[in-house]
């Protein structure tokens, strides 16, 4: 049996997804459970175990050479532990060891979900063909990851590229992380909605106060809704420009639910970028929407695992994101 497959786990606050993935990025076997996010550590691990049981019972499991985990953060890839903000029962939880105990000798690779999404976009999505890229996930929070010199740049603990918690407003509002004026505090979906409400925007008859509802209002011409997206775009642009200036990136890929606002977010983002990305070597920076959709976490976890545990010989997976 050729070991040409990798297994992938995508662990978030609402769902735990798993898949067996081939070298083209196709998901051959899928499994999924809801995350019992408010229960104790063993209950959450039980859901992971159920997903793994479905994967390991597949006849294809014999072809798996590595397992990649993309988890909501923070993660500590060097210790093999995770502490997802939205799963309070897991603090310093030894996920790599626990998964390894189930999968019997298959190497386990852990990355944060922003890094996983970046690996997916670099392998098969909007960052394909770019050697230097920043990928952002703009959603309930703001995460991200980096490709530098053609390789996924994870950082020692697997959190590199976490653009949501760099400050772009020195004396700005306190952020739950402990700092002030973070990109996330200005640009996440809940903060876009909060700012619109604070400035007088009111939802329609359905009472929907999500960022998506604010985007719909902006599209219909509401100036307060438009301004809230412009402020988010400004924060993202400042963070992207800072990143580009530090490490020279060619493209910024914008994904996550808030990116579903399309040009309501991307048009002011591109405008703001001209204000902040001014030096000659960052002026040609491209901004593109993400392409990988809801499977990005699984595909990215698979890419990270495949890169970390290259297959030998002619059956080797192509190296897409080697560390
Ligand atoms: Zn922060």
C-alpha 160 to ligand 1 mean position (Å): 14
Q: Which of 289, 247, 7, 287 is nearest to 151 (CA)?
A: 247
SS3 state of residue 260? helix
* pLDDT over 90, % of the chain: 87
What pLDDT, on the 0 to 100 scale, is given for residue 232? 98
Q: Residue 254: CB partners within 8 Å, gap ≥ 6?
A: 136, 138, 236, 265, 266, 269, 287, 288, 289, 290
Q: Which of 271, 275, 219 is nearest to 242 (CA)?
A: 275
What pLDDT, on the 0 to 100 scale, is given for residue 315? 38
Q: Please, which residues have CB less than 5 A from ligand 1, an ion?
A: 165, 175, 177, 179, 182
What pLDDT, on the 0 to 100 scale, is given for residue 176? 86
Q: How far apart are CA 239 and CA 242, in angstroms?
A: 5
User: What string of DSSP letters covers 160-203?
Assistant: TT-GGGSBSSTT--B-TTSSBSBHHHHHSHHHHHHHHHHTT---
pLDDT at 150 over 90: yes
229 or 104, which is more confident?
A: 229
pLDDT at 320 over 70: no
C-alpha 209 to ligand 1 mean position (Å): 23
Spell out where the chain has E strands. Answer: 5-11, 15-21, 27-34, 64-71, 75-76, 81-82, 108-112, 133-138, 142-148, 151-153, 251-255, 286-289
C-alpha 129 to ligand 1 mean position (Å): 31
What pLDDT, on the 0 to 100 scale, is given for residue 323? 36
Strands 64-71 and 27-34: unpaired
What confidence category does residue 182 fall into, taking pLDDT thresholds of 50, 70 and 90? very high
Tokens for 266?
């991307």
Tokens for 255?
């994904």
- pLDDT tens digits, one per residue of 221-255: 999 999 999 999 999 999 999 999 999 999 999 99
Q: How far apart are CA 118 and CA 133, in angstroms?
A: 8
pTM of the model: 0.90
C-alpha 38 to ligand 1 mean position (Å): 23
C-alpha 233 to ligand 1 mean position (Å): 17
C-alpha 165 to ligand 1 mean position (Å): 4
Q: How far apart are the first and last CA of the chain?
A: 27
C-alpha 113 to ligand 1 mean position (Å): 17
C-alpha 171 to ligand 1 mean position (Å): 13
Q: Which of 117, 163, 138 is nearest to 321 (CA)?
A: 117
C-alpha 239 to ligand 1 mean position (Å): 13
pLDDT at 65 over 90: yes
Tokens for 60?
């294809």
pLDDT (average), residues 256-282? 95
C-alpha 311 to ligand 1 mean position (Å): 39
Q: How far apart are CA 168 and CA 246, in angstroms?
A: 15
* pLDDT over 70, % of the chain: 96
C-alpha 226 to ligand 1 mean position (Å): 24
What pLDDT, on the 0 to 100 scale, is given for residue 322? 36
Question: Is residue 24 classed exposed, middle or buried when 0-12, 13-18 and 19+ CB atoms within 10 A define those classes?
Answer: exposed
C-alpha 29 to ligand 1 mean position (Å): 37
Is the CB of residue 163 less than 8 Å from the CB of residue 136? yes
pLDDT at 48 over 90: yes
SS3 state of residue 215? helix
C-alpha 184 to ligand 1 mean position (Å): 6
Angle, vertex CA 25, rays to CA 108 and CA 319, nearest 5: 65
Peptide bond into 317 cis (omega under 30): no
Give, in order, the Cα–Cα distances in Å from 50 to each of 43, 96, 156, 265. 11, 16, 30, 39
Q: Which of 84-93, 99-108, 222-231, 312-321 has the highest mean pLDDT?
A: 222-231
C-alpha 181 to ligand 1 mean position (Å): 7
pLDDT (average), residues 135-149? 95
pLDDT (average), residues 40-63? 97
C-alpha 121 to ligand 1 mean position (Å): 25
What pLDDT, on the 0 to 100 scale, is given for residue 308? 85
What confidence category does residue 311 fall into, taking pLDDT thresholds of 50, 70 and 90? confident
Q: Give the chain's domains with CATH numbers.
A: 5-112+294-315 (3.30.420.40), 126-291 (3.30.420.40)
C-alpha 185 to ligand 1 mean position (Å): 7
Q: How far apart are CA 271 and CA 285, in angstroms?
A: 12
Averaged confidence pLDDT in the chain: 93
């Amino acid at each position: 049996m050729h070991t040409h497959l990798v297994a992938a786990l995508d662990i978030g606050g609402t769902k735990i997804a798993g898949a067996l993935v081939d070298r083209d990025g196709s998901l051959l076997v899928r499994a999924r459970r809801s995350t019992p996010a408010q229960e104790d550590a063993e209950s959450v691990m039980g859901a992971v175990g159920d997903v793994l049981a479905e994967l390991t019972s597949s006849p294809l499991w014999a072809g798996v050479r590595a397992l990649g985990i993309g988890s909501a953060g923070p993660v500590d890839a060097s210790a093999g532990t995770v502490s997802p903000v939205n799963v309070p029962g897991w603090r310093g939880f030894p996920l790599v060891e626990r998964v390894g105990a189930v999968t019997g000798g298959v190497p386990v690779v852990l990355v944060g979900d922003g890094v996983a999404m970046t690996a997916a976009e670099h392998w098969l999505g909007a960052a394909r063909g770019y050697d230097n890229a920043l990928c952002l996930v703009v959603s309930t929070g703001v995460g991200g990851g980096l490709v530098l010199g053609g390789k996924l740049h994870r950082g020692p603990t697997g959190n590199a590229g976490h653009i949501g918690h760099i400050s772009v407003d020195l004396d700005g509002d306190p952020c739950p992380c402990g700092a002030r004026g973070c990109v996330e505090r200005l640009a996440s979906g809940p903060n876009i909605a909060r700012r619109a409400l604070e400035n007088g925007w009111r939802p329609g008859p359905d009472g929907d106060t999500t960022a998506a509802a604010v985007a719909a209002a902006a599209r219909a011409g509401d100036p307060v809704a438009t301004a809230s997206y412009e402020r988010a775009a400004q924060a993202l642009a400042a963070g992207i420009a800072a990143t580009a200036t530090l490490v020279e990136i060619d493209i910024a890929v914008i994904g996550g639910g808030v990116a579903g606002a399309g040009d309501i977010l991307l048009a002011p983002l591109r405008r703001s970028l001209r204000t902040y990305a001014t030096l000659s070597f960052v002026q040609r920076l491209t901004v593109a929407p993400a392409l990988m959709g809801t499977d990005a976490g699984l595909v990215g976890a698979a890419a990270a695992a495949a890169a970390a545990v290259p297959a030998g010989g002619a059956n080797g997976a192509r190296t897409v994101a080697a560390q």
